[in-house]
Amino acid sequence: MLRRRHVLVANGRVTAVSATPIQAPSGSLTVDGPGVLARGFVDTHIHGRSGFDVMRPGDVAPLSLELLSQGVIGFLPTVVSAPPNELAAALSAANGDPRGARVLGIHAEGPFLSPDQPGMFPPDAFRDYDRALWRDMQAAAASPIRLMTVAAERLTPTQIDELRADGVTLSLGHTNATLDQALAAFDSGVNRVTHAFNAMRGFHHRAPGVVGALLDRGEIDAELILDGLHVARAPARILAATRTTGRIVLVSDSVPPAACPPGDYPWAGRRLRVDNDSIRLPTGRLAGSALTLDAAVRRAVDWLGRSPAAALHMASEAPRASVGLDPGGLRPGAAADLVLLDPHLHPRLTIVGGAVRWRQNNEQRCANAASGAD
């Protein structure tokens, strides 16, 4: 059960947390009504939404405003594998809007990925590890590249060391690695897996691949796209049964046409078809999600059988910890990056740096009420 909490904020930071009302100085923000205050969400894997595209210079700022309504206070704009000049242009333009969710670094999904597991991406931009290219990427980036999705079979232990020495968290994805290759990568310091189950060798009891390695190693952080399409509920529950809440990282992996009307949209060299509940290539293959992080939290309660507090943790503390950001919880001294949610875990108010940046309006409240508690 979630406890009511009262939080005092000054100068953008939390200064007190209490189960009972705190005597607040006059003029301070007070938020009342049923609901729960939590640390705001962090989306570590997002390519875009509502037509905004991380790969298009200028789009990260409006995207940062758009994400506030999901309770997201920070994100890692996620660039895809692309020709070096396109990649550099996207990296150098990954700046948020000062009134939006924070850009907490960049997630580079590639380019050291396996052409055997391209997912929806055209594999021509995938390549072998290239130190000079990595240096160019770092030099171009407007914000640190905090996270990189890599194929285990593309990297030697020495190369893994080199990348980690540069402060980047490595995450296995778009990889055809065997169980042994995946375990060797974990032993070399890779501690995360990108969109578990997707774009990797499927689980076979004699050839368990990355999925088998992930299920066997509960200490590895696992991204999960909880939209009910990318991973069926049973394997999502099996994954959850192998690790603590702190090792399950909810992500949206949403793509630019997410939240757009049904139709065809070009993205990342492909034509994506949006229908009412999915985004696919014309072949029928899934091509990123339309998921929001707050919906993922609600599903973690409904589908994984976790408590609301645990589900909130999967979208706030777990993603922070998985990329080396402060996972210290809602406590005095933490940045006042908060979300207020109603009892059904729909965001009502998003606070970044102590300032209210988004507030649910009547129209949204009525839509939620009309659809029942999602």
Please report how close the Cβ of residue 210 comes to Zn ion at its closest, in angstroms. Answer: 16
Spacing of C-alpha 266 from chain mean position = 23
Nearer to Zn ion, 24 or 281 (CB): 281
- How far apart (Å, rounded) are the C-alpha atoms in residues 74 and 53? 17
Which residues pair with residue 13 across a beta bridge? 10, 335
- How far apart (Å, rounded) are the C-alpha atoms in residues 111 and 188? 20
Please report how close the Cβ of residue 173 comes to Zn ion at its closest, in angstroms. Answer: 8
Nearer to Zn ion, 46 or 330 (CB): 46
Asked if residues 272 and 344 have their Cβ atoms less than 8 Å apart, the reply is: no
Query: Which residues contact Zn ion by CB under 5 A?
Result: 109, 253
- How far apart (Å, rounded) are the C-alpha atoms in residues 95 and 318? 24
Asked if residues 249 and 322 have their Cβ atoms less than 8 Å apart, the reply is: yes
Asked if residues 272 and 265 have their Cβ atoms less than 8 Å apart, the reply is: yes
Nearer to Zn ion, 109 or 153 (CB): 109
Q: Is 128 a catalytic residue?
A: no
Nearer to Zn ion, 154 or 230 (CB): 230
Nearer to Zn ion, 253 or 342 (CB): 253
Of 59, 175, 169, 62, nearest in space to 117 by CA: 175
Cα distances (angstroms) measured from residue 44 to each of 7, 111, 149, 224, 265: 26, 17, 11, 11, 24
How, if at all, do strands 145-150 and 106-109 pair? parallel
Choose, from 253, 294, 337, 342, the residue flagged as catalytic.
Answer: 253
Residue given tokens 């979630």 in the structure block: 2
Residues known to be catalytic? 253
